[in-house]
Amino acid sequence: MSEVEYMREAMAEAAEAAALGEVPVGAVIVVDGKIVGRGGNRRESAADPTAHAEMIAIRQASQAVGGWRLVGATLYVTQEPCPMCAGAIVNARVERVVYGCDNPKAGAVRTLYRLLEDERLNHRVVVEQSVLAKECGELLTRFFAELRKL
């Protein structure tokens, strides 16, 4: 699969989250060309502030590979990760992050902070941004426009 196809998989996770009334952010983790983790936001339905798409995908991927180190893994996520998720990405030793749209309020990869590339940390992550950025941003824009109508 291509970068775009993996991001579309993450977008499908985001759409599933939106259908549950969750902020539409989705993620998939790929190791050796295989999706080993998936997640969509579940903060509201799980009553869990850590139930971000990336965190769920990391937990699932760790179970799939049988350990907490996700060496060689690429995380595809529809929106730039927040500080919590960026910290988990570093701690899980994810090799690469590919994200869709920027996160102007909490972006910890490029927008507000650069945690994944911070040389003070013990692990750095290769970052690719703006894959299907317009489409990923539209998922969020539509969701919040609908919320404002209520």
Q: Could you give the angle at the alpha carbon of 5 between the alpha carbons of 10 and 108, nearest 5°?
A: 45
Catalytic entry in 5, 54, 119, 138: 54
Tokens of 129: 């941004």
In the block, residue with structure tokens 């993620």: 27
CA distance 98 to 67: 22
Is 54 designated active site? yes
Q: In terms of Cα–Cα distance, which of 130, 80, 132 is closest to 104? A: 80
Q: Which residues are catalytic?
A: 54
